[in-house]
Amino acid sequence: MKTPIRTLPPFSQVTIIGVGVIGGSLGLAIKKHFRSVTVVGFDRRAVLKKAINKGAIDRAATSLRTALEKADVVFLAMPVSEILKGLPLIAKYSPPDAIVSDVGSVKGSIVRCARQLFPRGNFVGGHPMAGVELSGVEAAHPLLYENAVYVLTPMHGKTTPAVKRLASFLEELGARVVLLDPRTHDEVASVVSHLPQLTAVALTNVAGGRHPSGRRHLRLAAGGFRDLTRIASSKPEIWTDILTQNRVEIDKSLKLMIRELTLYRKLLSRRKEFSLGKEFNSARRIRSNIPKTMKGFIHQLDELYVFVKDQPGMIARMTSSLARAKVNIKDIELMKVREGRGGTFRLAFESKEMSTRAAAVLNLAGFEIGD
């Protein structure tokens, strides 16, 4: 289905300062939904050239002043330290009625600074929970914000006209806007975003560097290890700022994590049978309550597990069988694989009815359906 193009865009010009994967994806999303909006970018010359070629921006600004002078909305898509450093000039050169927002992963320090520089209340802190481990405008994609949670942190905790306009605009781009105060945002981000990053880095370094046998046989790492450590590929430059600016909340979360692991170690050291049944059951119950919409779907999907033999053309056979029956796969993931035998795919469909229909089609095609 074609994306509807609005004939009356909410803004004439959007300026993006920092056209990397986040800023570039924002530009692509804007052009996808609002072709008549002019997107201006400001960054290094080489980056801007790539952004124009990719279609993420319409025009490259040669200076910060020219980038901002006609902007209706300004997005600061830079590292947190650069946002803090640049806010005074951005406040000076932005039109008085322009909405200024950022995409930083830490909100407290940015919002505190913005309160002094934007007395008219036209600054709105923001954080799209849609990051990827890749970087650069080359990795930008127009669907990065589709159904992604986008947190807005108003300066004084009030839903002002600027907050309402920005929220409406972001929702038009497909995002799901959530309003939080800056302190709550930083507390939550420390445990659901920043701590997982440190955990992935630590686990990868233990398995591949510290552990005497693990580092020599890392090829044995299965899907669980790869899933847990995917974000260990993130660039350290991005995280230096985040860890520095949110160090207090991250320290609290680290202490809780260390306390939990210390408990497991104590239980393991006992001579009697080692059991973490209570902890496993608690974790499973908590995880089952995480909305599946967090992956990018508005409604919960119905899942089906299909075993696919390790033979040429089997994946094509599975998908083409469903396509002929007009059954649309909303999500697909390879869960387990055994070389020479096959793998289990998780397929997700928009409803139980569609999932049941898919199971019948695949059974007829000779595929094994799991629980």
The DSSP secondary-structure symbol of 230 reads G
pLDDT at res. 2: 44
Determine contact, residues 194/246, Cβ cutoff 8 Å. yes
- Among 205-209, 252-256, 274-278, 303-307, which range has the highest average pLDDT? 252-256
Residue 7 confidence (pLDDT) above 70: no
> Can you tell me whether residue 339 is helix, strand or coil?
coil
Q: Within 10 Å of residue 66's Cβ, how many Cβ atoms? A: 15
| Mean pLDDT, residues 31-47 | 94
pLDDT in tens, 97-132: 999 999 999 999 999 999 999 998 899 999 998 766
In the predicted structure, residue 262 carries a pLDDT above the cut 70: yes
By percentage, how much of the chain surpasses pLDDT 70? 91
User: Mean pLDDT over residues 313-321, rounded?
Assistant: 93
Q: What order of strands is seen across the sheet that includes strand 331-338?
A: 331-338, 342-349, 302-309, 368-370
CA 200 to CA 171: how far, in whole Å? 31
Q: Does pLDDT of 294 surpass 80?
A: no
pLDDT surpasses 80 at 248: yes
Residue 108 CB neighbour total at 10 angstroms: 20
Single-letter amino acid code for the residue at 86: G
pTM reported for the whole predicted model: 0.75
When the pLDDT of each residue in the chain is averaged and rounded to a whole number, the result is 87
Q: How confident is the model at residue 299 (pLDDT cuts 50, 70, 90)?
A: low
- 168, burial (CB in 10 Å: exposed 0-12, middle 13-18, buried 19+): exposed
Q: Tell me the β-bridge partners of 304.
A: 347
Average pLDDT over residues 210-230: 78
Report pLDDT for 4: 47
pLDDT tens figures, 64-95: 999 999 999 999 999 999 999 999 999 999 99
Q: Using the predicted structure, report yes or no on whether residue 145 has a pLDDT greater than 80.
A: yes
CA dist 312 and 314 (Å) reads 6
Domains with residue ranges and CATH for the chain: 13-180 (3.40.50.720), 186-269 (1.10.3660.10), 295-370 (3.30.70.260)
Copy the structure tokens of residue 277: 């049944």
Residue 6's pLDDT is 47
**For residue 340, what pLDDT is reported?**
64
